[in-house]
Amino acid sequence: MTLAPAPVLTGPAASALELIGKTPMVEVTRIDTGPCRLFLKLESQNPGGSIKDRIALSMIEAAEREGFLKPGGTIVEATAGNTGLALTLVGQAKGYKVLLVIPDKMSKEKIQHIRAMGADVRLTRSDVPHGHPEYYTDMAERLAQQIPGGFYVNQFANDANSEAHFRSTGPEIWEQMGGDIDAFVAGIGSGGTITGIARYLKSQGSKAEIVLADPVGSTLAGLVNEGVPGPEGGYTVEGIGQNFVPDTADMTLIDRAYSIPDAEAIATVRELLLKEGVLAGSSSGTLIAAALRWCREQTEPKRVVTFVCDTGAKYLSKVYNDAWLADHGLTERELRGDLSDLITRKYASGDVVSVGPDDTLDTAFKRMKGADVSQLPVMENGRLVGILDESDIVHVMDTDEITRAERFSQPVRAAMTRELDTVQVGEPLDALIPLFDRDRVAIVLDGETFVGLITRTDLINHLSLNR
């Protein structure tokens, strides 16, 4: 079949469900791919923003056909977020209630999105292994059994998961690439994507190498490359990687695997946005980093396909937030061996939200809310002259002498604290403890120059990252 040289517009769809699939493919042209050509299938263009829309529709329709899901029923699932979004999209369109169990490390954008769509969200621990009662799959299965009419989707052992990719994603890739594929790269969350597409490619006689992209800390790459589980650990990438082999995953189809550190995945996905203009999620960084490693190892031109699994709009507070990355040790930082190493938001870099003494308390409070902080340094002509925290504002509000509007219109200088608890940047960590014992934030100076603030959380985070 010959593809159209340009996108073909179609008439309006009857519902968002009709827009699932038929996603575009784009070639990477501004990132070093060695002698190879790398193509990205933009699953972020599905109506729910991810590749999981495909399996949600497939699994719900299969449950309806088989009588497991009846009118008025409740869809229950354990999810890293995207399958939950997709199930809610499909479930709401079909009139079902949706209950989702989500590990607490997932981005707030995903959780807010799901709740806004009307799903019942239960957060659970992300630091416990498969088999623990608070592990997300164990909790979801238990809840489904307790709810009348509840149907546990179980994407990890649902044949309709891989079948969706065998019937739709695989054929689309084959058509878009004209059957010319040398390698296909995917991750394993539930296992359906890599299994379904690999099976389809092999059914067409393709000799494409099937490559697993796995986060460091997931055990699956070890099973592929050495036949034993790899070292287990924590990772921040969402949606892929496991400490067990899902029933949906056919590991015999996979030829090789790459373990990708979080920092490499995040750097890759940010480079993708910077150079190719594609806003992708964290798991896409793992996939594309693995694909780039494969491409750069080749000595002859090859054609490689992987995914933009979901939109990066769901990770703006994490992957695309420099302060969050610094807090988690995922950026390249020059360490000086002094208290500045604890400060991820430095005043000299423009990262500190501050206020002036003549700004109003209303302005100060709005800046606190916008930056999600409880205190602001007060700066005048580049010099620290005070600090304002929530308690200072409360004290001004706690009077009947003036109206509420007048209280908020007062200048910051009327409420700020001028007696500052400061430490010099070269002092030891122990110098922070007396300040924290008095419920103060540490104001760090280099001579008379303001460097930044250190909170208890900053200290704990520093000790955690440098155990």
> What confidence tens digit (pLDDT) does each residue in 430-461 have?
889 988 888 888 899 999 899 999 888 888 88
Is 80 exceeded by the pLDDT of residue 331? no
Among 41, 44, 50, 52, the one annotated catalytic: 52
The pLDDT score that the predictor gives to residue 1 is 46
Contact yes or no for 452/347 (Cβ under 8 A): yes
Burial of 439 (0-12, 13-18, 19+ CB in 10 A): exposed
The pLDDT score that the predictor gives to residue 106 is 75
The pLDDT score that the predictor gives to residue 329 is 79
The pLDDT score that the predictor gives to residue 351 is 83
The pLDDT score that the predictor gives to residue 349 is 83
Higher pLDDT, 404 or 144: 144
Is 80 exceeded by the pLDDT of residue 333? no
Higher pLDDT, 103 or 208: 208
Picking from 24-38, 84-98, 366-380, 391-405, which range would have the lowest pLDDT averaged per residue? 391-405
Q: How confident is the model at residue 103 (pLDDT cuts 50, 70, 90)?
A: confident
Among 44, 218, 283, 284, the one annotated catalytic: 283
The pLDDT score that the predictor gives to residue 400 is 60
Contact yes or no for 367/426 (Cβ under 8 A): no
The pLDDT score that the predictor gives to residue 2 is 55
Indicate if 108 belongs to the active site.
Answer: no
The pLDDT score that the predictor gives to residue 52 is 96
Indicate if 314 belongs to the active site.
Answer: no
What's this model's pTM, rounded to 2 decimal places?
0.83
Most confident of 311-315, 436-440, 463-467: 311-315
> What confidence tens digit (pLDDT) does each residue in 140-190 have?
999 999 999 999 999 999 999 999 999 999 999 999 999 999 999 999 999
Q: How confident is the model at residue 231 (pLDDT cuts 50, 70, 90)?
A: very high
The pLDDT score that the predictor gives to residue 4 is 58
The pLDDT score that the predictor gives to residue 71 is 94
